[in-house]
């Protein structure tokens, strides 16, 4: 089965590489219209996934990511239109230079070929990934988790219908419907057909794919994000940012999991913050110094400093300097998103320069690490590694280059 899927994807990628921007945009518009038009059907199928997830006692944050509403489906459709409006990077030529022998040498942006994505209970990923891969001329093979299988099948069928309606091979998008672990492992070894594999999910999934895959892998997603409150911070601003970063959506990789606070600020900050976080019943896991300024907290352990909770839990670490804050964050972070709240320009720049992460913020919530918020239309994932792509991966991250050379009879001597 997988061998056939791989062959179909490889064949489709050759056809997609030659599609005009106009045809790509036609398909994306049709996909958006069909997705919005099938919202009721999609919600009914999603309910099956929700019921199964509740039986398995899925945590609230993950359940939220799984749930589809009319508003979220409309958002998925708008994401397709947003990608449609973006400039097509395929075929762009840069750095055309003339050599002394008369050769003209340039670099052209081209599709990667076949992209595979393994992901967990995030049905919106199905449409987001399709939009980005299709716009960049890549065929895509999707392997969603069992928790979202009914939703994913329905979305994939709608998108394939859009492809067919526009006269484009539906094999531009293929969903592996067998959710077994054995099939997932077999997919990771499909290097004869798949050019890039992207895991989206928790640390367990990402690390397993990185270990097992014979296909080049881009790690995405795991987010142990910190907010550091400097001694010069505007404390009201800090409370607002922390509340947003922690509670706006708990089951996402750009949510704050840990607060690092300068001891000169914590006596005033922490009681204010505790009162605000009480609105969402956030559990505070604090070191002994921070706990002395809180009414209710749990002692933090070493494990808490590196934990991605995806829940209403926040760890709190006290530091005595920005150097100590940077050292703590760089030791325990996952390379995703980190923020400093400060009025000190020198501290802001030091934090920007020395924090090792894909996205570094000054006086803003980590929740902005998102392809849509960055103007990419959508994202295929947020890369936490440094090779090929880093941060939210939009269209450009799904392309590579080839050198094009024009001559007029030159031969090498």
Task: Encode pLDDT of 238-293 as tens digits.
Answer: 999 999 999 999 888 899 999 999 999 999 999 999 999 999 999 999 999 999 99
d(CA 61, CA 53): 12
Helices (H), 136-218: 149-165, 181-187, 203-212
Residue 257 vs residues 172, 211, 223, 320: alpha-carbon distances, Å: 37, 26, 8, 20
Number of helical H runs and strand E runs in the chain: 15, 16
Mean predicted lDDT score pLDDT of the chain: 94
Q: What is the mean pLDDT of residues 335-341?
A: 96
Please give the helix or strand (H or E) that residue 198 lies within, else none. strand 196-200
Q: Which pLDDT score is estimated for 385?
A: 82
Task: Encode pLDDT of 349-393 as tens digits.
Answer: 999 999 999 999 999 999 999 888 888 767 788 888 888 888 888
Q: Which pLDDT score is estimated for 389?
A: 85
Task: Encode pLDDT of 12-69 as tens digits.
Answer: 999 999 999 999 999 999 999 999 999 999 999 999 999 999 999 988 878 888 999 9
Which candidate, 71, 74, 65, places its Cα nearest to that of 35? 74
The whole-angstrom distance between residue 261's C-alpha and the CA centroid of its chain comes to 27
Q: How confident is the model at residue 95 (pLDDT cuts 50, 70, 90)?
A: confident
Q: Which pLDDT score is estimated for 32?
A: 97
Please say whether the beta carbons of 23 and 165 come within 8 A: no
DSSP string covering 83-150? HHHSPP-TT-EEEEEE-TTS-EEEEEEEE-SEEEEEE-S-THHHHHHHHHHHHTT-EEEEE--GGGHH
| 3-state SS class at 287 | coil
pTM of the model: 0.82
Give the rounded percent of residues in the chain with a pLDDT score beyond 90.
Answer: 83
**Per-range mean pLDDT, top range of 77-81, 202-206, 321-325, 407-411:** 321-325
Is the predicted pLDDT of residue 406 greater than 80, yes or no? yes
- Could you give the domains of the chain? 2-220+380-406 (3.40.605.10), 225-368 (3.40.309.10)
Is the predicted pLDDT of residue 142 greater than 90, yes or no? yes
């Amino acid at each position: 089965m997988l061998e056939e899927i791989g062959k179909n994807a490889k064949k489709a990628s050759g056809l997609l590489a030659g599609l005009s921007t106009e045809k790509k945009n036609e398909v994306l518009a049709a996909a958006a219209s069909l997705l919005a038009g099938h919202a009721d059907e999609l919600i009914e199928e999603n309910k099956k996934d929700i019921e199964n997830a509740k039986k398995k006692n899925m945590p609230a944050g993950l359940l939220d990511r799984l749930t589809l509403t009319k508003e979220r489906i409309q958002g998925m459709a708008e994401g397709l239109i947003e990608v449609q409006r973006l400039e097509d990077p395929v075929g762009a030529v840069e750095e055309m230079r003339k050599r002394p022998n008369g050769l003209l040498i340039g670099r052209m942006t081209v599709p990667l070929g076949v992209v595979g994505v393994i992901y967990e209970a995030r049905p919106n990923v199905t449409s987001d990934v399709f939009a980005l891969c299709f716009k960049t001329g890549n065929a895509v093979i999707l392997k969603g988790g069992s928790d979202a299988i009914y939703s994913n099948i329905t979305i994939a069928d709608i998108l394939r219908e859009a492809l067919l309606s526009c006269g484009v091979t539906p094999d531009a998008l293929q969903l592996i419907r067998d959710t077994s672990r054995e099939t997932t492992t077999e997919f990771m070894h499909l290097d004869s057909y798949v050019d890039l594999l992207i895991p989206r999910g928790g640390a367990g999934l990402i690390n397993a794919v990185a270990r097992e895959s014979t296909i080049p892998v881009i790690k995405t997603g795991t987010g142990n994000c910190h907010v550091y409150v400097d001694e010069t911070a505007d404390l009201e601003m800090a409370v607002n940012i922390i509340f947003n970063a922690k509670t706006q959506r708990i089951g996402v990789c750009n949510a704050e999991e840990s607060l690092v606070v300068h001891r000169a600020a914590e006596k005033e900050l922490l009681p204010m913050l505790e009162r605000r976080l009480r609105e969402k019943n956030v559990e505070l896991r604090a070191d002994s110094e921070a706990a002395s300024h809180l009414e209710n907290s749990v002692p933090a352990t070493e494990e808490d400093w590196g934990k991605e909770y995806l829940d209403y839990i926040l760890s709190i670490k006290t530091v005595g300097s920005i150097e100590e804050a940077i050292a703590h964050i760089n030791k325990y972070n996952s390379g995703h998103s980190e923020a400093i709240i400060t009025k000190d320009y020198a501290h802001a720049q030091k934090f920007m320069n020395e924090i090792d992460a894909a996205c570094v913020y000054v006086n803003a919530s980590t929740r902005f690490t998102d392809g849509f918020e960055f103007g990419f239309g959508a994202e295929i994932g947020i890369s936490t590694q440094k090779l090929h792509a880093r941060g939210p991966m939009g269209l450009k991250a799904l392309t590579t280059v080839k050198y094009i050379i024009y001559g007029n009879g030159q031969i090498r001597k």
